[in-house]
Structure 1
């Protein structure tokens, strides 16, 4: 899909200031070999106003193209959350409903009380019922093995429960999760977790389709997202980027070569938390629907009120992630950031120390991809690259600073 660029001036953006984005990406990252290749798109009112495509998509130097396919990892989560909220709007489930209404396997969950590692987990106190809202907000008590912090995390790693493509399907995933204790009682903390993978299973069970089928029928096809899915078709393999890992003080290390990647095969488990591949153009379509209050070009995913609810801070007492997170996202640069129904939410730009609007929502992926939507300024960004972990460089904050510096009017 080709993205047509509008005149930035007609959208209240300064072209010369937007040009600073490419300069920063090239001078600080691409030319120094920190990032092999990048692609960033800035839009207002759903219209693309700026794009910079730089560097290489492959270790052999193949240049990044405008239709390059990327691993978007946790940028899958907003799509899964929207999918579940579409079913909420249809009355198939409610935010306050117990998760056991769809996943009876979770009836006997208990809170961690000790043990694990080389010993069995000790019997914990029974957890009160987990609700759908607890999953969407990451306040479920579930965790991620990648946190590498507790014995519960270690059990997730051993069972490969972090949305791994080799998991033997949805039922196996839920059954294995049900064997393990929760980090805390649902609603009593915030912990980045496989909660959104569980949401994906719920979408599949409620709809009678696989998550991939639901995405295609209800989101991708209607929006024209022709290159987004859980695997890369062989005929598109030449467009799939390689992936690298950050090496302190050295060149990035190639960790997944596109030509030999497992991503050409359909996964056994479709991870609603991190399994999708996509392009800048496709994710721009999704973000355009979000900046449009849930709809774009006559295609409505959710209503404006539903989206506004999703972009509200659900952390108790108006807390931010630095106050609530058990591990990941507890860092100081998440001050002023809350969490809604599938998105991070800016609650106070003055605490975040980056220009923006209260009510802006966003998320990213472990390969350093990112997007944000500002419903006040009707502004959005999509950024793609392929370097893990996403904490390697402060590039997301730098991009936001440059984008907001290019605004010539404010609608606040």
Structure 2
């Protein structure tokens, strides 16, 4: 056998050995266990381990005390981390004098937690190419062609006025900088007109727009933040663009895709036995049931779908809406918004603040701003909320609240029904408790 033949045989043997080594995993020795299965079975971290439980226990006790102190008939809440519930609490009964416990499917009036849903609907139409955020509102609401502005926004008597120097835009409606007043808050002339003209009880959306157009603005558009009827006007724009009621549009584009089966502007006959009682109290008046349309919430007594305050929902449903936002517009394969639209919604857009409002609920607090339908934490320390910058939130006049924290992937939702001047706003203290309990990365 010559040298060349020998080299070819050796090369072939080497190639065969290399191939065999690549094709087979080395078997462990008899006294060495195979560790590969153990590595594959390492469990994911439990989101609950991100929190110091005793602090959450204290929060639980304080929220339960809202019921035991006779401030509300019931309170339901959920704390979600990384898409999973860490805590939930259900205190009290659905009715004031009953014993039926509340749960995930109890229906609550959301009040102003409706505003972020309406903002999402506007952003969906923008993505559809049906509107531009910088469109003047008169493109859709021609009744607003001749808006006047108060020369004295805090005046209790009828002030001198001037013509609006420019037409408010949809973007200004989204940020409450269009200059409109509201039926709540200060008892100045402008806000009082919303009550005296029964704007929010108008028999139709067209009539609501017409009545609003006859009331002066508090400020020149774009010059101040003033909590306002802006979200209800967004609802009017949605209805005129789509030819649908606001509720029908939201059902088709938001509630249906997200499987929010109990969210609407009225309750059906089948849902009535899950509607929480609307209650009120004052330091001088014991807790009592509120009567009228607010109590029944049936379609016959609610002629207009109010985009600023009208929705009813459950803890389970609103959790799905919040998860969609936390997931940048998508949930369970359903995409409602592009990530850049969600970023717009949750980014502070305010260089201004209402300088005249003496009530803190109706003006921007230190360390916070406002995006589209939501407040935004801009400074953790100044806000006193302990939540990181970029956390966004809102509250309802009935005592409902929520926040979404993109940094820590946290959601908190609290639902109660307190329609009294003696407010029960639990969000700030709940925020501080959650962030005192959370372990920092």
TM-score by length of 1: 0.89
Distance 1:333 1:78, change over 3 A: closer
Residue in structure 2 matched with residue 268 of structure 1 by the alignment: 303
Q: CA deviation at 1:23?
A: 1.7
Residue in structure 2 matched with residue 3 of structure 1 by the alignment: none
Indicate which of 26, 31, 40 corresponds to 2:77.
Answer: 40
TM-score by length of 2: 0.83
Q: 2:278 aligned with 1:243, yes or no?
A: yes
Residue in structure 2 matched with residue 210 of structure 1 by the alignment: 245
Q: 2:106 aligned with 1:68, yes or no?
A: yes
Q: CA deviation at 1:236?
A: 1.1
What does 1:306-345 correspond to in 2, within 5 Å? 306-316=341-351, 324=355, 326-329=357-360, 334-345=365-376
- Between 392-401 and 48-57, the greater mean CA deviation after superposition: 392-401
- Between 376-385 and 44-53, the greater mean CA deviation after superposition: 44-53
C-alpha separation between the residues in 1 aligned to 2:328 and 2:153? 47
Q: Provide the aligned length of Structure 1 versus Structure 2.
A: 397
Residue in structure 1 matched with residue 61 of structure 2 by the alignment: 23
Q: 2:147 aligned with 1:109, yes or no?
A: yes
C-alpha separation between the residues in 2 aligned to 1:258 and 1:241? 14
Q: Deviations over 1:39-62 (max 9, x none)?
A: 010101222221010112211133
C-alpha separation between the residues in 1 aligned to 2:82 and 2:244? 33
Q: 2:75 aligned with 1:54, yes or no?
A: no
Q: Deviations over 1:80-114 (max 9, x none)?
A: 01100111122211111111111111111111247
3-state DSSP class of the match of 1:214?
A: helix
Q: Deviations over 1:376-398 (max 9, x none)?
A: 11111110011135862452112
Residue in structure 2 matched with residue 178 of structure 1 by the alignment: 213
Q: 2:433 aligned with 1:402, yes or no?
A: yes
- Between 296-305 and 60-69, the greater mean CA deviation after superposition: 60-69
Residue in structure 2 matched with residue 303 of structure 1 by the alignment: 338
Indicate which of 410, 413, 420 corresponds to 1:379.
Answer: 410
Residue in structure 1 matched with residue 389 of structure 2 by the alignment: 358
Unaligned runs of 5+ in 2: 1-43
Residue in structure 1 matched with residue 268 of structure 2 by the alignment: 233
**Native 8 Å contact 2:278 2:294 kept in 1:** no
3-state DSSP class of the match of 1:363?
A: strand
Q: Deviations over 1:330-385 (max 9, x none)?
A: 67992211111111010001001121110111101101000000111111111001
Unaligned runs of 5+ in 1: 1-5
Residue in structure 1 matched with residue 3 of structure 2 by the alignment: none
Residue in structure 2 matched with residue 81 of structure 1 by the alignment: 119
Q: CA deviation at 1:328?
A: 4.5
RMSD between superposed Cα atoms in Å: 2.7
Distance 1:37 1:260, change over 3 A: closer
3-state DSSP class of the match of 1:124?
A: strand
**Native 8 Å contact 1:8 1:14 kept in 2:** no
Q: CA deviation at 1:119?
A: 8.7
Distance 1:313 1:237, change over 3 A: same
